[in-house]
Structures are given as structure tokens and as C-alpha cells.
Chain A
Amino acid sequence: KQEVTQIPAALSVPEGENLVLNCSFTDSAIYNLQWFRQDPGKGLTSLLLIQSSQREQTSGRLNASLDKSSGRSTLYIAASQPGDSATYLCAVRPRETSGSRLTFGEGTQLTVNP
């Protein structure tokens, strides 16, 4: 059974810091890994999608890497801003499924202080 773990569970940093969020998964048989942002009480916003054949993806100040063999992904946020405060979730799509079936971690709650 696929399990996804995110470390740390919570993180508080001053504005301007570069930071790294970690995600690990137990079964490397995945199609892709997706990072999401969730504001309190809201839905999920897709940030980055990394296919299993890729090593990293970048979007603006965000960079996500994937090491499928070791079951790890990191989300790097450069020059953090108070508007980045949210919960960040990673999710993997197991290889035997299609469509949108995902296994999620429990998230990292990020607070960026002005």
C-alpha cells in the first residue's frame, strides 16, 4: 500500500527565506507526483506536476524535484513571501491507475512572517 509522508508538518519562516518542503513515498511505481497548495477551508490549487521520467519542474519561484528510486520529492520555494502562507500537499499517482486517483501526504503548513 502506497504511503506518503511530508516533513515537516509545520514550518514558520521570516519573509525572504528560501525553504524546502519534503515528501517521501513508499512505492516507487508511480506515474507522476503533484504538488498542491491549499488555503484554509479551500480547495487544492495545482502547483507542479512531475512525470515519473522527469527529475524536476519549475514554475516561477517554485522548483520541485523527484527521485523516484529513493521515493523522495522536494519543493523548493525561493524568496518566500507572506502570500505563500498555506498548506502544501504532495500526492502520487500509482502506476496501476489512471485519471485522477491520488494518494496524498498530510501536508506541510507553512507560515511566512512579514
Chain B
Amino acid sequence: ETGVTQSPTHLIKTRGQQVTLRCSSQSGHNTVSWYQQALGQGPQFIFQYYREEENGRGNFPPRFSGLQFPNYSSELNVNALELDDSALYLCASSPGGAWGTEAFFGQGTRLTVV
């Protein structure tokens, strides 16, 4: 059974550019969530996908968007990057539709915007 994997591990982008981060969910998990973690803070929920549909969103602007594919892998896209977007981006998966299930996280993607 493979765990949650994210790519790339590190990324440097220039302000105003666009970025795509990728996540492969754990085998058997059909729900994926994305979180942003600024340095020294707890992760903040961005949005969640269940069976290819967005079914929850945190307090993030529309330039943060996502996709989930039929194999339940997911992408996070951020347009018009700002310096404050520099953070660790975490992906979590769980067997969605089952309440109260455990979330499993990937190793994260460190995004630096310069």
C-alpha cells in the first residue's frame, strides 16, 4: 500500500507566475484535501475534492483552484503568485464518504515566491 506522495518537493517561482502542485492519494482513498502551512503556523484548509468534485473550500481566493482525476490524484493550481503564497503545501487523503476517518498527509511541497 503506497502512501500519499506529492511533487515536486521544492519549487521556486517569480511573483505573478502560475504554479501546479501534484498529489497522489493513498490507495483506496477517494477524498483529497489541500492545506497551506506558513512558517511557524498550523496548516490552513484550502479545499477538498471528493470523487472529482470540490466539496468544501476554506478562506482562499479564486486564484487557488484544483482538480481531481478519475484515479483520485489531484492538482493544486495557483495563479498570479504573490510573495505571501510562499509556504509548505500539504495534501491529505482519506476514504471519504465515511465519517470520522483518519487523514494521511504527504511530505509537502515547499513553494518559494521571489
Residues of A within 8 A of B (CB): 4, 31-32, 34, 36, 41-46, 49, 51-52, 89, 91, 93, 97-107
Assembly CA distance A103 to B6 (angstroms)? 21
Contact with A along B95-114 (1 / 0, CB 8 A): 01111111111111010000
Assembly CA distance A83 to B60 (angstroms)? 36
Determine whether the beta carbon of B106 is less than 8 Å from that of A43.
yes
Name the residue on B nearest A4 (C-beta).
B42
Interface residue B76 (Cβ < 8 Å from any Cβ of A)? no
Determine whether the beta carbon of A89 is less than 8 Å from that of B42.
yes
Determine whether the beta carbon of B32 is less than 8 Å from that of A100.
yes
Assembly CA distance A45 to B41 (angstroms)? 16
Name the residue on B nearest A48 (C-beta).
B102
Residues of B within 8 A of A31 (CB): 99-100
Determine whether the beta carbon of A101 is less than 8 Å from that of B56.
yes
Between A36, A52, A98, the greatest number of chain B beta carbons within 10 A of the residue's beta carbon is seen for A98
Assembly CA distance A104 to B4 (angstroms)? 19
Residues of B within 8 A of A (CB): 4, 6, 31-33, 35, 40-45, 48, 50, 55-56, 88, 90, 92-94, 96-108, 110
* Contact status of A106 and B90, CB under 8 A, knowing A43-B108, A101-B48: no
Residues of B within 8 A of A98 (CB): 31, 50, 55, 96-99
* Contact status of A32 and B100, CB under 8 A, knowing A99-B31, A100-B32, A100-B93: yes
Assembly CA distance A15 to B42 (angstroms)? 26
Determine whether the beta carbon of B42 is less than 8 Å from that of A106.
yes
Name the residue on A nearest B91 (C-beta).
A43
Extra 11 A-B pairs, beta carbons < 8 Å, given A43-B90, A99-B33, A106-B42? A91-B42, A93-B100, A93-B103, A98-B96, A99-B31, A99-B55, A102-B33, A102-B45, A104-B35, A104-B42, A107-B41
